[in-house]
């Protein structure tokens, strides 16, 4: 009998230990540097948001955050890497929510379901998009650009990565205006910007955070923006909704996710660190300089946003007819 009691006591202690393990882990976490995978090349909007996250986490958690740019296949290569990582809070993924949860799983033959393998941690920023053209084009407004594109069907090119929000905004614009502008796919925003500056393409849509410096330098001409209202930085440039070319804002929400199975206590700690970091004077100054807005939510609120947005972007995939083999 005594042996049975000892065995039972041992089982209870082990079970209690496992039950307490996540909480105990969260108290000592993190004990080593973290890795934040950015699934696009350096220099783009996703990378910009990721560096803000790394700054916030380093300041609040006291550990280095290593950014690993893993571009390709519309962000799915980097996403797969994190999907296969241990759910211990040391490997994080920077996402554009509409891309990872709304469009990528419909465009690519994935061996994982983002809705199942990732858990939302925290939203970070909302980055509005701006449509810009090369200053060499003989037009100054979005209406003049539409007329010019119609007069030169198939002769203008625009660039973007495949399957991200700016790609869909441009394709919706083409459908609404009846224009034939050729899409040139890129792995990310930085190489696309280089080609626009070099004259290889004539138009793009991308985040305010990466395009505004070029606009302010006079190297790109803004003709329309996304958002519910005109931007204070570009008061004379209409929104695409105002101009009659889109039915909604279609801004880009960036956030952080981790592999499913990550202890909730660690997720809560990461959320608090990111959210508190976004309120710090240093990061607020960076956000103001970039002209982008912080977006602070709980993990549950982030999950609700994903559940709301994913069906809307699935419909946009259907309407535009975008295929990855184009």
**CATH no. for residue 284?**
3.40.190.150
Residues 146 and 121 in one domain: no
| DSSP letter (8 states) at residue 65 | E
Cβ contact 253:309 at 8 Å = yes
Q: Which residues of the chain have pLDDT under 70?
A: 1-26, 325-326
Query: Which pLDDT score is estimated for 7?
Result: 46
Same structural domain for residues 98 and 160? no
* Cα–Cα distance for residue pair 147/243, rounded to 1 Å: 14
Looking at the fold, whether 313 and 261 belong to one and the same domain comes out as yes
Q: Among all chains, which residue has been given the structure tokens 């803000």? A: 52
CB 171 within 8 A of CB 198: no
Residue ending a domain, choose from 225, 242, 273:
225
pLDDT at 21: 56
Our measurement of the distance from residue 35's CA atom to the centroid of its chain's CA atoms, rounded to an integer in Å, reads 17
Q: CB 222: neighbour CB atoms within 10 A?
A: 21
The answer for residues whose C-beta is within 8 angstroms of residue 291's C-beta and 6 or more apart is 208, 209, 212, 231, 233
The pLDDT score that the predictor gives to residue 25 is 60
Domain carrying residue 55: 29-125+253-320
Q: CA 154, CA 171: separation in Å to the nearest integer? A: 14
Task: Give pLDDT tens digits for 56-94.
Answer: 999 999 999 999 999 888 889 999 999 999 999 999 999
């Amino acid at each position: 009998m005594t042996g049975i009691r000892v065995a039972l006591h041992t089982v209870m202690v082990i079970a209690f230990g496992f039950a307490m393990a996540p909480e105990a882990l969260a108290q000592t976490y993190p004990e080593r540097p973290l890795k934040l995978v950015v699934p696009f090349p350096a220099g783009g909007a996703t990378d910009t948001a990721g560096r803000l996250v790394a700054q916030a986490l380093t300041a609040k958690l006291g550990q280095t955050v290593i950014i690993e740019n893993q571009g390709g296949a519309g962000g799915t290569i980097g996403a797969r890497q994190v999907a296969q990582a241990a759910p211990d809070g040391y490997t994080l993924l920077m996402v554009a929510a509409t891309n990872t949860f709304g469009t990528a799983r419909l465009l690519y033959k994935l061996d994982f379901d983002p809705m199942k393998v990732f858990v939302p941690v925290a939203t970070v920023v909302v980055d509005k998009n701006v449509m810009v053209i090369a200053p060499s084009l003989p037009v100054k407004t979005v209406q003049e650009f539409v007329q010019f594109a119609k007069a030169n069907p198939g002769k203008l090119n625009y660039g973007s990565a495949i399957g991200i929000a700016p790609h869909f905004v441009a394709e919706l614009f083409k459908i609404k205006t009846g224009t034939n502008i050729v899409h040139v796919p890129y792995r990310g925003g930085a190489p696309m910007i280089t080609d626009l500056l070099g004259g290889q393409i004539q138009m793009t849509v991308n985040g305010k955070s990466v395009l505004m410096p070029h606009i302010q330098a006079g190297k790109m001409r803004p003709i329309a923006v996304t958002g519910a209202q005109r931007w204070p930085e570009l008061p004379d440039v209409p929104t695409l909704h105002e101009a009659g070319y889109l039915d909604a804002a279609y801004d880009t929400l960036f956030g952080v996710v981790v592999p499913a199975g990550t202890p909730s206590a660690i997720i809560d700690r990461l959320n608090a660190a990111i959210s508190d970091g976004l309120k710090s004077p240093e990061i607020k100054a960076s956000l103001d300089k970039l002209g982008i807005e912080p977006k602070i939510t709980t993990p549950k609120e982030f999950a609700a946003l994903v559940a709301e947005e994913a069906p809307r972007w699935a419909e946009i995939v259907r309407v535009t007819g975008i295929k990855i083999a184009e």
